[in-house]
Structure 1
Amino acid sequence: MTDRILVAEDEPRIASFVKKGLSGAGFHVTVVPDGPGVRDHALTGGFDLLVLDIGLPGMDGFDVLRRLRASGSTIPVIILTARDSVHDTVAGLTGGADDYMAKPFQFEELLARVRLRLDRARPSPSPELLAHRGLELDPRTRHVTLDGRTVELSAREFALAETFLRHPGQVLSREQLLRLVWGPDAGSSSNVVDVYVRYLRRKLGPDRIATVRGAGYRLEPG
């Protein structure tokens, strides 16, 4: 989905320059030239980032920013302004801006900051649900179900099952499993792997994990 950027700028030449550059970079850009209009557009929740000029007619950018944050809006804001004093920079950042750029500016730098702020604003992906032939593991909650029925696994059994589900159809040697599940200091004994594979077979079914003679174990893909 294309990110939507709101540009608050009353100088037509700069507004056109920024819109053309951001549109060319693949963003959907809306330009609004006055403070009240910027506030109203931003509060719709339909934008992913705001590039905000301070010297706007009707309501300056600092006031727009204060009203947005007071309303609970968390839209990332990059201030882009001719005011480059330390006082103005501090006022913008403490007022809730995420970044501050002084005019004149290089578009490449603005684009880099826009992308950075959008990336930081995106929620971190939660661990995916791992599934295999009716078996489901949730790495976040460590909940396991088999054909809809909850299965209780110990921490080590869960780690071993998760390792198999992340490598379906791949032959994993006992040494690999020791390193992945028990850690690099687990030693060289492979008997513990055999023991825990037996535990998993009892709980998850005898035909799910195949023994590959002389090589290790494999989670059957079919």
Structure 2
Amino acid sequence: MNILLAEDDTRLGKLISHMLKKKGGFRVDWVEQGEDAYDFTLASHYDVVILDWMMPVMDGISVCRKLRSEGYGGPILMLTAKDAIQDRVEGLDAGADDYLVKPFEMDELFARIRALSRRNFAPIQEDSVSFSHFTLNRTNRNIEVRENEVQLSQKEFQLLDLLLQNKGMVLTREVILDRIWGYDADVSYKIVDATVKLLRKKLDADIIHSIRGVGYKLEG
């Protein structure tokens, strides 16, 4: 999962960024200026954008309003010390999807991120995408491996699509389990490993790499 964090408090920014990477296994871009947050959001794909309300020059509310006015539809989480009802209303009216008041527990931040990532914010994606020696077709939910059609189970397809969207990046077992089976699913990491094993066999190539004790990444 790709996260953009815009936080001008250096100490807090470092802490949040570190925890998102270490505990969540997320890829995090951290900026300290609202203008940078605006530019980064439009230049890259992020699963969740986290904006601090009080930033110099362009604050989080202004960034949020400007992004929404230009058609940006991705999930935006607002961080702020303002906890009055009218402040919450202002944040949501500006286009924020969720609102978290400082100080907060990191577990709550992770829960908000998970909830936002599960909503229907997915950008329009190409019908088919090719990588290495295979092509994934999102309409037919199958793959062609060296020009031979191969059927995938629903979970195998979802896992391969997730790895493709984050190719070259390490996805932890926790992230994979959350995104494919759901955070509350009563399954263990063993189901992730088993699905990867089946998927590797169908791909007929060693392109899903195991990162010992962490997770997996797709790399040709």
TM-score (norm 1): 0.54
Q: Which amino acid aligns with 1:83?
A: K
Of 14, 17, 20 in structure 2, the residue corresponding to residue 19 of structure 1 is 17
How many aligned positions are there? 132
CA drift of 1:129 comes to 5.8
**1:142-157 equivalent positions in 2, closer than 5 A:** none
Cα distance in 2 for partners of 1:63, 1:116 equals 24
Match of 2:7?
9
Larger radius of gyration: 1
**1:48-127 equivalent positions in 2, closer than 5 A:** 48-121=47-120, 123=122
CA drift of 1:121 comes to 3.5
Match of 1:150?
none
CA drift of 1:127 comes to 7.9
Cα distance in 2 for partners of 1:77, 1:127 equals 28
CA drift of 1:46 comes to 2.5
Cα pair 2:75 2:121 within 8 Å, conserved: no
Cα distance in 2 for partners of 1:29, 1:48 equals 10
Cα pair 2:8 2:55 within 8 Å, conserved: yes
CA drift of 1:45 comes to 3.4
Flag as ranges the 4+ runs of structure 1 deviating above 2 A.
126-130
Match of 2:218?
none
Cα distance in 2 for partners of 1:75, 1:117 equals 9
Cα pair 1:8 1:31 within 8 Å, conserved: yes
Q: Which amino acid aligns with 1:36?
A: E
Match of 2:185?
none
Cα pair 1:76 1:121 within 8 Å, conserved: no
CA-atom RMSD, angstroms? 2.7
- The unaligned stretches of length 5 or more in structure 1 are 135-222
Cα distance in 2 for partners of 1:127, 1:70 equals 31
Percent pairwise identity: 39
Q: Which amino acid aligns with 1:7?
A: L
Cα distance in 1 for partners of 2:121, 2:92 equals 20
- The unaligned stretches of length 5 or more in structure 2 are 123-137, 143-148, 150-220
TM-score (norm 2): 0.55
Secondary structure of the residue aligned to 1:100 is strand
Cα distance in 1 for partners of 2:140, 2:54 equals 46
* Structure-2 change in CA distance of 1:85 and 1:28 (3 Å): same
Secondary structure of the residue aligned to 2:119 is helix
CA drift of 1:47 comes to 1.7
Cα pair 1:9 1:15 within 8 Å, conserved: yes
Match of 2:33?
34
